[in-house]
Structure 1
Amino acid sequence: MKTAEIRRRFLDFFVRNDHTEVPSASLMHHDPTLLFVNAGMVPFKPYFIGAEDAPYARATSVQKCVRTLDIEEVGKTTRHGTFFQMNGNFSFGDYFKEEAIAYAWEFSTGAVEDGNLGFDPERIWVTVLDGDEEAEAYWKSVGMPADRIQHRGLADNYWNMGVPGPGGPCSEIYFDRGPEYGPDGGPEADEDRFLEFWNLVFMQEELATVRSKTDFDVARPLPRPNIDTGMGLERVAYLMQGKQNMYEIDQVFPVISRAAELSGREYGADATSDVRLRVVADHVRSGMMLINDGVTPGNEGRGYVLRRLLRRAVRAMRLLGVTDPVLPELFPLSRDVMADSYTEIAEQWQRISDVAYAEEDAFRRTLEAGTQIFDVAVSDAKKSQASVLPGAQAFQLHDTYGFPIDLTMEMAAEHGLKVDRDEFSRLMTEQRERAKADAKAKKGGATNVEAYRELRHGGESTFIGYTELETDARVLGIVDAGSSVPAASAGSVVEIVLDTTPFYAESGGQDADRGTITAPGLELKIVDVQSPVQGLIVHRVEVVSGEVTVDQQVHARVDADHRAGACRAHSATHIVHAVLRETVGPTAVQSGSYNKPGYLRFDFQSTHGLDADQRAEIEGRSNEAITADHEVTSQTLPLNEAREMGAMAMFGEKYPDMVRMVEMNGPWSRELCGGTHVRHSSQIGLLTLLNEQSIGSGVRRVEAFVSTDAFRHLAAERALVSNLSGMLKVQPDQLTERVGKLVADLKDAEKQLAAHRSKEILGNAAGLVESAQDRGGVAVVAQHVAGVGGGDLRQLAQEIRGRLGDRPGVVALVGGTDEKPAVVVATTTGARERGLRAGALVKDACAALGGRGGGKDDLAQGGGSDSTGIDKALASVEAAVDAA
């Protein structure tokens, strides 16, 4: 049974049992505690913790997940994979243990022809929490014999989020794979033979504190117990398909097969090669799914994870002997097997492939740079007659250049060296601990929403800002430093919640409104407006005068000019998006935006920058759309209907079932958007592009001024042109030609000056050669040549070395400036035969200057910051010659 069919059967089963089918959330789900969605319940977390009201009593989903904590273990076991899919069914205060167990049993063991999986009931085992007699009784009621129900402790069979919130016992379902996989005795005896494939969580308690997985305090029973289950789709697939592990299922193995073919290896013949092939297959699929959800390679956060996955895949293929580009061979295979479940992959394929292939090209260049660093490390080790490469250097190669430890170890072995794996592991552990501490800090910070939740339980904030800019309102609550307070007086900065508000909360890239909240004797200045909990609009205010109290009647007024400016900028952002898709193509998908009165920036996915003609075309088309006076309309409609109409949506953005769609010139610009807009495009006035640049691998950014800010910018440029024309005494249309001639003349003058300087410097070479000292048969020129730096210093050192002829010689020159002294060391063949290496000599010289240096045996250079050490630097070279 194919993986896609298992997925469909699961969803259909629960839909037949009155569950709402919920599409998978993006892997970039908006949860401040997570880098990626790592469990099926994550999109439903706000409902479980009470931050939002669930829109349905029952739900089912197949959620895309990524876990990267054990990335180094991928391919080594059947349990570690970065991307996986979690089937789940959920109840929000509806059914509980009895029904959850009955559903799981029926779907697992029911007949295949009835839409179930058809597992042999005799091979099913379950575990329950010690003391959960209720769950045990329900299992017995569906036919599970008592001798295949095992009781386990909190560590195995109790679930919580690691922070205060809901928790409860769980019941895990296992499949007996047979005696060839391990000893008998159920999950307690062996979890390789008895493989867990479904976990039923019974959320029934609210935890007050959580010190560890097994140490926590229960505050009270939940008023409405919930169900959260997770069935590993890949695990079920390899059980149903008779495979050994998740890498051999139909959605993964085609990549292994092709990678084996490219490398000339046979899968299953060699354990080391098999691990590498599994790494390739896992990371190709994971990378493709991350790019599909809008992640682009980068040096931090989500982008770094994607970059690491793609580069590990390429590195694994190199270790298998394949040095040609591999992702164009492997990505299409993963696309073809995943498209049955995720049709958007085919729709986004051009963008996905562009990002992946560009990253491989970039890594191939980086690999060359890293190899050079590796070669220097090997050379240093051999000079010191060491047999072990320091772990710190291996870690630098891993952390800076993306070299995995196995690649470094293999390359070191080719030079007869080992790697200090213990030191490398220690540094890796320290890095992981820092990451865990950071994640824990973020998790703890994300729980401080209790005051907002309490206010939200009193009802939603009604937003009327689409049509009204001021209104009378009542103060529902005041929050100060995370706690509800009854009042706030002049001079304080607090958060205010109103029953009705015209103020737009920052979202969708649009800056928050500004304005005032007033009452007799009271003035509050709006500092910011946010929506920390769905349905609740929170106004951060400075109490200018008076005292504000809960239940007070006030008058809220939006700054009309600020709002109008925000509307113009936001509508201009939609225009730029539409024009970019026309100019660059449909792969120019939005990656982010920000707009405020007079200014916008728009990030889009593209592996190529915009040339001058494209920038001019984008600016021109945008202004044509503005002057065309397109009507800007909005409507509220079901999410699926909006998507069918082609409405653009942000990757990773969470949308409700009913959405607001903003249109400009009909389908030309059709986006899901909750922001405020002009009524006609002509109200924007004018747009001028400021610049276009890369902000990360595969992501570009354009910035623009809008309306009067655009006019002021153009007026300033006009004044600049006028001033330059006056200075150069030419007409504006002749300015480019005149400046070009000046630049050409300047370059010619610089060349002549450089030639003169070079001649002068080289003219000093003869005198410096005459200053050479004979130190044990080696001619040494060690001099301070003030003011000579860069290429001139290097050229002078080479000239002197050439004039020394065939005799052993060392040239050490210190030049540069007092602030940044520079060093160049050059050696002749005769000197090198005596063991005098320029790279080693320059390191000692630079150390005396408080800096570093390096290079080859015949020529090396470096610098420092302490010019008082110049004499010491030159003396160090002379001493080294004396000791040779």
Structure 2
Amino acid sequence: MYDPKPFGLNELREMFLSFFETKGHLRLPSFSLIPQNDASLLLINSGMAPMKPFFTGEQEPPRHRVTTCQKCIRTGDIENIGKTARHGTYFEMLGNFSFGDYFKKEAIHWAWEFLTSKEWVGLDPERLYPSVFAGNETTPADDEAFRIWNEEIGIPAERIFKFGKEDNFWEHGSGPCGPCSEIYYDRGEQWGCGKPGCTVGCDCDRYIEVWNVVFSQFDNDGENHYTELKQKNIDTGMGLERLACVCQGVPSLFDVDTVMNITRKVTEITGASYGQSHATDVSLRVITDHIRSATFMICDGVLPSNEGRGYVLRRLLRRAARHGKLLGVNDPFLYTVCDTVIHENEGHYPELRERQDYITKVIRVEEENFAKTIDSGLKIFGDMLAEHKAKGETTFSGADAFKLYDTYGFPIDLTLEMVEEQGMKLDEAEFHKQMDEQRQRARKAREALGDLGWAGVEFGKDVPETEFVGYENTAIDDAKVVALVVENEQAEEIMPGVEAIVVLDKTPFYAEMGGQVADHGTISADGVTFQVTDVQKNKGGKYMHTGKLTQGVLKVGDTVSASIDVKRRKAVMRAHSATHLLDKALRTVLGDHVHQAGSLVEEDRLRFDFTHFSALTAEELAKVSAMVNEAVLEGYDIHTDVLPIEEAKKKGAIALFGEKYGDTVRVVDMGSGYSVEFCGGTHLDNTAKVGVFHISSEFSVASGVRRIEATTGKASLDVMNRNQEMLFQAAAALKAKPGELREKAEQTMLEVKALHQMVEKFKAKESAGEADRFLFGARQVGELKVLTATIPEADANKLRQMGDMLRDKAPNVVAVLATVNGEKITFLAVCGKEAVAKGIKAGEIIKNVTAICGGKGGGKPDSAMGGGTNVLKLDDALASIDDFVAGKLN
């Protein structure tokens, strides 16, 4: 008797990998979710995706038989996640692969053995149904696979299903492709649709595909012409969660043991119960699925951002956070679920536990940031929605959606989802139209700025590209003037006192690019001096030396000397070489997720932008600074080479993400591998020449992007001297020696704190006395004490403090306090326990009084606040309280 064995998901994963190890396969760890050297994918979405080079023959595999369990993310139908039990973003794909080794016979036999053998999964063979490719006019039927299933495995012909290209042929445009054979498991009639003829291939949940092996045997030329491949491959894919569903006899991936344990943690936090209602189940499934995905993505180095895979992560976290709000959780909570996700998966993915603090911190920061956006956005969305419904409209305005996005930062995908939940449609065409118009406005604004006044100059073919010789030379004496530009027009000569642009056939001047500022210096000849104050490189490769002719006449065709300001160049190089050391230190201290996001290198000053999710702690900054200065003290030699790009990558050179590089690149190597980066800038020959490296500030410049500003060389010495001077001045002010300054400052702060506490105690006593006076003058309305008062020069905190005292002193009190600041009124209403018990609610009182004064507000039954703008109506508002209370008490 065969029955599905209730194997746990983690147990099934290990069984599969162990089984194929017995068949001579090399077990490889899961590849990162971030594709390597594959621009066609945003995230790894299948087991074979990371191994494309092995299939195509571009790269030699570590072994010709490989088995993996690959982490995968698919977000093509993210809007359906949670709404159905089938859809999920994160899943694991079990696979066995052959690169020119075994083929159909072994692949089919091993699949059958693993699924049916009682030593392994032990599924009932009578419940398993294979399918094969039926063939079509361009590609023959897979008779070989049919024969193996029928004659060798012993499956009756009527139980082998033949399907067309859509189901049983794998291809993706041109390139390797082939038929596939799937294995379906019959879960029983209770899972079926009940329709006559329900069988394998039906869309219901009865027959579930558990195995799919692709026989990569053809090459498609892109025009449906198929030729046999010399190297035939096997690519097997089996969803781990899907196999677990079968073995555990559960309805969906959300009911599998490891996934359900995460859901249980979410229900514990939210108080919601799975199965309580469809809406609740949707929210629980969304949160469970998305936190699994986010945990693995962050572990692999993805950070929330507004583009690419970072936006996928941000969208998942925001969607999960909003569904938390739908379940009544308003505070950040997703980060607390991480431990459960990690606990369920750390056996196979130990890196999750190793990076737990980092993962948790990223999620918490993103949750907190989003909370600020969503709170204001939800209110504005609600107002817009109410207006549409009041007009009887069923389409939510694209202009409103754009305003939510552009003005309030509210994500369009959340707007779309919330609109659909209200049974409405979003005018997406209008939204995208306004987005395009905004981009065009931005483009025109950039064009209006021009390009330093000379980008519009068109040079003829007789003006060659400028040869840059500044890596080896700081001065040359045989440069030729090939063009002159005055007021955006080409000229043949320039006179003294004229500001102009000089183009040379070769130059030692570094043009501003890659974050490094341009060289300054002089272009000269007999009796001629041109002071260079900026250098830019145009799209045609011409170096545009901007400056002023101070003496003589300069003509096109003149031979000149070109000499840079060496002292300035050295100061710039100190800062530039320091940015490479800083990049290395940040990656070491914070993690490999750090990527350069921009830089500015000036004379002994640098600005370095990098991807990171939160502010650096004092300890982290100290470690970064210390590591850079240690590299300076080590005195690493700095070498530069021009290498083929593939050789540079093999050497470990780091490239700027998103940058385009040619076939050859310039590589800067510090310390023979300590820091290796692609870079076209100028550098020192030894790190010791950086001098003192000093971080002056660290702050945020965009979501997920931080900035460090620092100094090197003489600028750092100036900072140290100023700091020392301030230290002596502070010590003198506190009448202490510099070495005693910290203790003296701490002592002074304690004294200030004690004085502050004394002042607060006096204020509290004053407020208590004032509260007693208010209560003494309260009016009796029924069994309640009603009082109103205007408190001059008070802020919201003082009103709350006074209100709390009144409520605590008199359970039967109803009090409304107000303060006026300019033309703005702030109200506070409090109701004691007895007043609330009699149906008097502070929130209702506030709504009434603020409406009289042209404002609004609200709150809880025992305490509420609001505002108003019509000061002349303040007395009327306060006078209405007695009647309001009396009316409530009948």
TM-score by length of 1: 0.59
CA contact 1:359–1:697 (8 Å) conserved in 2:
no
Deviation of 1:540 (Å): 7.1
* Map of 2:817 onto structure 1: 813
Q: Distance in 2 between matches of 1:661 and 1:707?
A: 24
* Map of 1:858 onto structure 2: 862
Q: Distance in 1 between matches of 2:340 and 2:764?
A: 52
CA contact 2:346–2:353 (8 Å) conserved in 1:
no
Is residue 736 of structure 1 aligned with residue 737 of structure 2?
A: no
Correspondent of 1:671 among 658, 673, 677: 677
Correspondent of 1:297 among 304, 314, 339: 304
CA contact 1:568–1:678 (8 Å) conserved in 2:
yes
2:656 aligned counterpart, secondary structure? coil
The correspondence of residues 448-527 of structure 1 with structure 2, limited to 5 A, is 460-471=465-476, 473-474=479-480, 498-515=504-521, 523=530, 525-527=532-534
Deviation of 1:654 (Å): 2.7
Distance 1:279 1:586, change over 3 A: closer
CA contact 2:532–2:548 (8 Å) conserved in 1:
yes
Deviation of 1:724 (Å): 1.3
CA contact 2:692–2:716 (8 Å) conserved in 1:
yes
Give the stretch that moved more between structures: 818-827 or 449-458.
449-458
Correspondent of 1:766 among 766, 769, 772: 772
The one-letter amino acid paired with 1:536 is G
CA contact 2:134–2:162 (8 Å) conserved in 1:
no
* Map of 1:8 onto structure 2: none
* Map of 2:710 onto structure 1: 704
Deviation of 1:539 (Å): 3.0
The one-letter amino acid paired with 1:24 is D
Q: Distance in 1 between matches of 2:851 and 2:642?
A: 69
Q: Distance in 2 between matches of 1:671 and 1:588?
A: 14
Distance 1:805 1:672, change over 3 A: closer
Deviation of 1:530 (Å): 4.5
Is residue 536 of structure 1 aligned with residue 541 of structure 2?
A: yes
* Map of 1:224 onto structure 2: none
The correspondence of residues 103-142 of structure 1 with structure 2, limited to 5 A, is 122-123=136-137
Deviation of 1:786 (Å): 0.9
Deviation of 1:687 (Å): 1.6
CA contact 1:284–1:309 (8 Å) conserved in 2:
no
Distance 1:464 1:351, change over 3 A: farther
* Map of 1:756 onto structure 2: 762
Q: Distance in 1 between matches of 2:354 and 2:683?
A: 29
Is residue 827 of structure 1 aligned with residue 831 of structure 2?
A: yes
1:569 aligned counterpart, secondary structure? helix
The one-letter amino acid paired with 1:467 is E
Q: Distance in 1 between matches of 2:417 and 2:559?
A: 69
Q: Distance in 2 between matches of 1:576 and 1:495?
A: 35
Deviation of 1:741 (Å): 0.7
Higher relative contact order, chain-length normalized (CA < 8 Å, sep 6+):
1
Deviation of 1:794 (Å): 0.9
CA contact 1:74–1:81 (8 Å) conserved in 2:
yes
Distance 1:831 1:473, change over 3 A: farther
Q: Percent identity?
A: 27
Distance 1:651 1:788, change over 3 A: same
Segments of structure 1 that go 5 or more residues without pairing to the other structure are: 1-21, 29-35, 37-59, 84-110, 126-177, 183-191, 200-229, 338-345, 410-417
Cα deviation digits, residues 580-610 of structure 1 (max 9, x gap): 4555565655454432212223345556765
Q: Distance in 2 between matches of 1:425 and 1:802?
A: 50
Q: Distance in 1 between matches of 2:514 and 2:74?
A: 28
CA contact 2:81–2:285 (8 Å) conserved in 1:
no
Correspondent of 1:785 among 786, 791, 795: 791
Distance 1:429 1:67, change over 3 A: farther
Q: Distance in 1 between matches of 2:468 and 2:41?
A: 30
* Map of 1:645 onto structure 2: 651
Distance 1:349 1:616, change over 3 A: same
The one-letter amino acid paired with 1:705 is T
CA contact 1:781–1:812 (8 Å) conserved in 2:
yes
The correspondence of residues 230-249 of structure 1 with structure 2, limited to 5 A, is none
* Map of 1:838 onto structure 2: 842
Deviation of 1:751 (Å): 0.7
Segments of structure 2 that go 5 or more residues without pairing to the other structure are: 1-35, 44-57, 60-72, 91-102, 106-131, 140-160, 185-200, 204-208, 213-235, 245-252, 262-274
Deviation of 1:763 (Å): 0.2
Deviation of 1:561 (Å): 3.1
Cα deviation digits, residues 742-794 of structure 1 (max 9, x gap): 11111111111101111111101122123334568864322211123243321
Cα deviation digits, residues 332-355 of structure 1 (max 9, x gap): 999999xxxxxxxx9999999876
Is residue 635 of structure 1 aligned with residue 641 of structure 2?
A: yes
* Map of 1:436 onto structure 2: 436
Correspondent of 1:800 among 791, 795, 806: 806
Q: Distance in 1 between matches of 2:326 and 2:772?
A: 53
Q: Distance in 1 between matches of 2:287 and 2:490?
A: 54
TM-score by length of 2: 0.59
Distance 1:823 1:419, change over 3 A: farther
Deviation of 1:356 (Å): 5.4
CA contact 2:523–2:530 (8 Å) conserved in 1:
yes
Deviation of 1:376 (Å): 9.3
Q: Distance in 2 between matches of 1:643 and 1:543?
A: 43
Alignment length, in residue pairs?
680
CA contact 2:416–2:426 (8 Å) conserved in 1:
no
Please report the RMSD computed on the Cα atoms of aligned residues, expressed in angstroms: 6.5
Correspondent of 1:601 among 607, 622, 627: 607
2:758 aligned counterpart, secondary structure? helix
Cα deviation digits, residues 566-588 of structure 1 (max 9, x gap): 10101122223334455556565
* Map of 1:425 onto structure 2: 426
CA contact 1:296–1:697 (8 Å) conserved in 2:
no
The correspondence of residues 1-150 of structure 1 with structure 2, limited to 5 A, is 23-25=37-39, 72=79, 122-123=136-137
The one-letter amino acid paired with 2:685 is R
CA contact 1:314–1:327 (8 Å) conserved in 2:
no
Deviation of 1:678 (Å): 1.6
Distance 1:300 1:798, change over 3 A: farther
Cα deviation digits, residues 83-119 of structure 1 (max 9, x gap): 9xxxxxxxxxxxxxxxxxxxxxxxxxxx999xxxx99
CA contact 1:287–1:309 (8 Å) conserved in 2:
no
Q: Distance in 1 between matches of 2:720 and 2:325?
A: 53
The one-letter amino acid paired with 1:673 is C
Q: Distance in 1 between matches of 2:472 and 2:745?
A: 53
The one-letter amino acid paired with 2:435 is A
Deviation of 1:436 (Å): 3.4
Distance 1:833 1:579, change over 3 A: closer
CA contact 2:79–2:417 (8 Å) conserved in 1:
no
1:536 aligned counterpart, secondary structure? coil
The one-letter amino acid paired with 1:297 is P
CA contact 2:606–2:711 (8 Å) conserved in 1:
yes
1:792 aligned counterpart, secondary structure? helix
Q: Distance in 2 between matches of 1:457 and 1:288?
A: 57
Distance 1:745 1:82, change over 3 A: same
Distance 1:821 1:666, change over 3 A: farther
The one-letter amino acid paired with 2:473 is E
The one-letter amino acid paired with 2:303 is T
Distance 1:717 1:580, change over 3 A: same
The correspondence of residues 518-597 of structure 1 with structure 2, limited to 5 A, is 523=530, 525-527=532-534, 529-530=536-537, 533=539, 536-539=541-544, 541=546, 556-584=562-590, 590-597=596-603
* Map of 1:52 onto structure 2: none
Deviation of 1:871 (Å): 4.1
Q: Distance in 2 between matches of 1:304 and 1:767?
A: 58
Q: Distance in 2 between matches of 1:328 and 1:238?
A: 42
Distance 1:332 1:789, change over 3 A: closer
CA contact 1:526–1:539 (8 Å) conserved in 2:
no
